[in-house]
Amino acid sequence: MIFDILTIFPELLDSPLNESILRRAREQGQIRIETTDIRDFALDKHSSTDDRPFGGGEGMVMKADVLQGAVNHAREQNGPGRVILLSPQGRAYTQAVAEELSQQEHLILVCGRYEGVDERFRATCVDEELSIGDYILTGGELAAMIIVDSVTRLLPGVLGCADSAERDTFSRGLLKHPQYTRPRVFEGQDIPEVLLSGNHARIDEFRFLASVRQTLERRPELLAGVSFSAAEVKVLKQHGLHGQIMALQSESA
């Protein structure tokens, strides 16, 4: 999979995109990450990528022709790709969107800056806008890195454990169950006895219930979109949780 990141600050991306799982995925040829300096496509001697907005107002606006030149370059180098503008006005980025993007072969991530981009660039060149949250960053670079990281770990063979991505928090709308490791006793707290039982069916049930309880406590709104199998509903009823979940889902309907 190819990620093309278009930015006026390519150096910001160097270290995060060359560490840990991303570095290994790059070395193994599972992903390719290209960074393009938008300034290279500026049309004046000052390498200007932005200008004052027509009609007046605060700040600067990134230029449509310069951004278009960077997108065209990415496509010439790596073929057609889905052009995504990182923008606070975009669709909310979720695990489901990451899974959707992981089916693409080439993503072109445009990192906006200043007061935004010329609307004509968005209308002409952008396939989709994505937002990583309802807050404002100084630029789209951090958002681009988040997308690269979250999509890469979904690609086949990237994670050491094939089940890791499928069992992550948000993979089915539930928070992940609590995890424990050595030492067995920490600050007087022992781990749940069931985890030492060797009974995998009991362990799976314990983890499922812990995941549901944790979601009810911390992010109950997530349960609105979760469906459960008949076997899971039976377990939830046995432990008095099914009614709470049905009430939540009824309220959100």
Mean pLDDT confidence for 47-51? 96
pLDDT surpasses 70 at 38:
yes
Q: Do 2-152 and 185-252 show the same overall fold?
A: no
Question: Is residue 175 a contact partner of residue 143, using CB atoms and an 8 Å limit?
Answer: no
Q: What is the largest CA-CA distance in the chain?
A: 72
Distance of CA 208 to the CA centre of its chain: 24
**pLDDT for res 208:** 96
Mean pLDDT confidence for 19-26? 96
**pLDDT for res 104:** 98
Q: Over pLDDT 90: what percentage of the chain?
A: 93
Spell out the domain ranges in the chain.
2-152, 185-252
CATH of domain 2-152: 3.40.1280.10
Helices 230-238, 200-218: crossing angle, 10 deg rounding: 70
pLDDT surpasses 80 at 238:
yes
Q: How far apart are CA 182 and CA 204, in angstroms?
A: 20
pLDDT surpasses 70 at 22:
yes
Q: How far apart are CA 148 and CA 2, in angstroms?
A: 10
pLDDT surpasses 90 at 156:
yes
Active-site residues, by number, are: 88, 115, 153, 168
Question: Is residue 36 a contact partner of residue 73, using CB atoms and an 8 Å limit?
Answer: yes
Mean pLDDT confidence for 141-149? 98
Fold annotation for 185-252: Trp Operon Repressor; Chain A (1.10.1270)
> Under 8 Å CB-to-CB from 119, ≥6 apart: which residues?
none
**pLDDT for res 194:** 97
Three-state SS string over the chain comes to CEEEEEECCHHHHCCHHHCHHHHHHHHCCCCEEEEEEHHHHCCCCCCCCEECCCCCCCCCEECHHHHHHHHHHHHHHHCCCEEEEEEEEEEECCHHHHHHHCCCCEEEEEECECCCECHHHHHHHCCEEEECCCCCCCECHHHHHHHHHHHHCCCCCCCCCCCCCCCCCCCCCCCCCCCCCCCCEECCEECCHHHHCCCHHHHHHHHHHHHHHHHHHHCHHHHHHCCCCHHHHHHHHHCCCHHHHHHHHHHHC
**pLDDT for res 253:** 79
pLDDT surpasses 70 at 168:
no
Closest CA to 116 of 161, 72, 70, 60: 60
pLDDT surpasses 90 at 170:
no
Region of 221 on the Ramachandran plot (φ > 0 left; ψ -120 to 50 alpha; else beta)? alpha
> What are the tens digits of pLDDT across the range 175-234?
999 999 999 999 999 999 999 999 999 999 999 999 999 999 999 999 998 999 999 999
> Predicted confidence band at 173 (pLDDT cuts at 50, 70, 90)?
confident
Q: Is the dihedral of CA 78, 82, 83, 88 positive or negative?
A: negative
Is 79 exposed, middle or buried (CB count within 10 Å of its CB: 0-12, 13-18, 19+)? exposed
Average pLDDT, the chain: 95
Q: Is the pLDDT higher at 173 or at 148?
A: 148
> Predicted confidence band at 165 (pLDDT cuts at 50, 70, 90)?
low
